[in-house]
Structure 1
Amino acid sequence: MKRGVYLYLIFIILVLLTACAYKEDSNSLIKNENTSDDPKVETSIEDKEKNKDEEEISSGSDLDYQKEEKNEMEKPKYRVNPASFAIEPVNGSNENVVLLTIDDAPDKHALEMAKILKQLNVQAIFFVNGHFLKTDEQKAVLKEIYEMGFMIGNHTMTHANLKKLPKEKQFEEIVKLNDLVEEIIGERPKFFRAPFGTNTDFSRQIALQEKMVLMNWTYGYDFMEQYMTKDALANMMVNTELLRNGANLLMHDREWTKDALKDIVTGLKNKGYEIVDPHAIETIQ
């Protein structure tokens, strides 16, 4: 009888001890889940927060770098000398450059000239006249040239000698063309070249008000009868004594110029000249 009682008491004690141990383990588990007392869990959370901060810092640094890079790219690399109209380097840019310009566009050959230049991976300014922008077809040609990446300049509505016009007519020649070009390509010209290079005090004032840089040229020959052939023109444009750093080359929308264009570009490059991108030239803001 006594032995049975003892066994019963031992059984009760074991049950109580087991219950207490289970309760302790449960409380410990709940505590760990709620308070994250496990040092591994705490470290994991800290690492996540640290990594998040580092990612944000890294992301911010990347954005800053991209902004700096964009600002650097947007800085002008060249400017037009207002006296000589040569292209001068700024910000340490290459000085061994020349600029290609094509006047009287888009007459008959401008689009083909643009395609030749595109194939050669070089840029130019196409100075346009309003009397070549009367039809939808002509306007479409100008838009295509622009969409190929070429800069469009103002060469007046009718190619008139500005010195022979009253102020109101000069204003119309310049501003009316800007309005027309903007209507076609969505952007106003940033460069102005007066026909025959004959600016007036008033045309200079209008150009400034229209935020256009005045631009004449260093040399050009395709309007002279002796250079109205492919070979003669290409030879003269590349080998003239007037070729120098920053030379501003004048050409026109002409068949012989179109035919000589590839040889002109190749010859200039063989002489070590880089064809400057007009988009890198300082404009009036």
Structure 2
Amino acid sequence: MKKWMLMVIFVLLLSACSEEVQPTAQSEEKDEPKATEQQADQEQEGTEKDEESDEDVQPADAEEDSEELAEEEAVVEAVYELNEANWTLEPVSDEYNSQVVLLTIDDAPDTYSVEMAKTLKELGAPAIFFVNGHFLDTEEEKAMLKEIHDMGFAIGNHTYSHQKLDDVPEETQRDEIIALSDLIEEVIGERPKFFRAPHGVNTDFAKQLVKEEGMLLMNWTYGYDYFKPYMDADKLTQAMVTGEGPEVDVPYSLLKPGANLLMHDREWTAAALSDIVTGLRDKGYEMLDPEKIITP
């Protein structure tokens, strides 16, 4: 009897335990859809973030494309070639303006070159600054050259020590030219594209070396600031704008389309520079961008 009663009690206890467990299982089953909804919300948020991320990337890509296009548009086409018969620059076809002059400044960056570069920059007038190595002995002088280059001006090779090339052996000529190109590259990050010999004196060896170095050898059409009668801003302005130098036996004008104008780092030239540019423009001449000149 006792055994039977114990068995009944045991069965009743098992039934009670079974009923208590079921709600827990149902509760867990009801929580699952909630977890699924949360997961869906997370996936949706992730998708939205991905879409936002894609939207964020698109303007950057567009900006890069715009910058690349601007760089392509900034490339200047070389369409003027040097006439070695008179050292003028001539357009390769009639579609380009022939009424141009090239401004060049020798003996940079001595004393007034940065000032002259700033004047030209304000006027929007491009030029070539021909450099001597003995004006690049100090860090301050190198900084002056870099400043001129950073303003957008072309830098040319005028030999290291302004040596008259036909007075020295070929090895010295090589050093005068190559050493300066190396130094210019060290300062501004690129080698010069233009070469002008001191006093306009070249040798066959120097001509070949300059060509091998990828530089265009040029002299000039006219210049007056190294003659004593024109060491005055007003007189120099008159001579450069008209092309005439009667005080030095040039009573006629040397100004012509494509003229290659020689000037120097000089106090009177710096003072006259703005009026020279303005005067030439008033005569209908455009200042030629050196980037438009065909080089080797």
Q: TM-score range by the shorter chain?
A: 0.7 to 0.9
Structure 1: which 4+ aligned runs deviate by more than 6 Å?
A: none
- Output the CA distance in 2 between the equivalents of 1:167 and 1:220: 29
Which residue, 165, 168, 175 being the options, matches 2:168? 165
Structure 2 match to 1:10: none
Structure 2 match to 1:88: 90
Which residue, 109, 112, 116 being the options, matches 2:112? 109
- Output the CA distance in 2 between the equivalents of 1:214 and 1:188: 14
Aligned amino acid, residue 84 of structure 1: N
CA deviation digits over 1:210-258, x for unaligned, max 9? Answer: 0000010000000000000000000010012000100000000000000
Contact 2:77–2:291 (8 Å) recurs in 1: no
- Output the CA distance in 2 between the equivalents of 1:95 and 1:247: 10
Q: CA RMSD in A?
A: 1.9
Which residue, 263, 268, 272 being the options, matches 2:275? 263
Aligned amino acid, residue 260 of structure 2: N
TM-score scaled by length of structure 1: 0.74
Contact 2:76–2:291 (8 Å) recurs in 1: no
- Output the CA distance in 2 between the equivalents of 1:222 and 1:115: 20
- Output the CA distance in 2 between the equivalents of 1:254 and 1:105: 10
Which residue, 197, 220, 225 being the options, matches 2:223? 220
Structure 1 match to 2:190: 187
Contact 1:76–1:90 (8 Å) recurs in 2: no
Structure 2 match to 1:127: 130
- Output the CA distance in 1 between the equivalents of 2:239 and 2:84: 25
- Output the CA distance in 2 between the equivalents of 1:78 and 1:202: 26
Matches within 5 A, 1:205-284: 205-240=208-243, 241-284=253-296
Q: 1:150 to 1:72 in 2, by over 3 A?
A: closer
Aligned amino acid, residue 109 of structure 1: Y
Return the offset for 1:194.
0.3
Return the offset for 1:147.
0.3
Q: Which runs of 5+ in 1 are unaligned?
A: 1-58
- Output the CA distance in 1 between the equivalents of 2:114 and 2:259: 24
- Output the CA distance in 1 between the equivalents of 2:98 and 2:74: 18
TM-score scaled by length of structure 2: 0.72
User: Secondary structure of the residue that 1:248 maps to in structure 2?
Assistant: strand
Contact 1:82–1:214 (8 Å) recurs in 2: no
Identity over aligned pairs, percent: 58
Return the offset for 1:77.
2.0
- 2:158 aligned with 1:146: no
Q: 1:71 to 1:200 in 2, by over 3 A?
A: farther
- Output the CA distance in 1 between the equivalents of 2:117 and 2:207: 29
Contact 1:161–1:198 (8 Å) recurs in 2: yes
Structure 2 match to 1:75: 77
Return the offset for 1:85.
1.3
User: How many aligned positions are there?
Assistant: 221
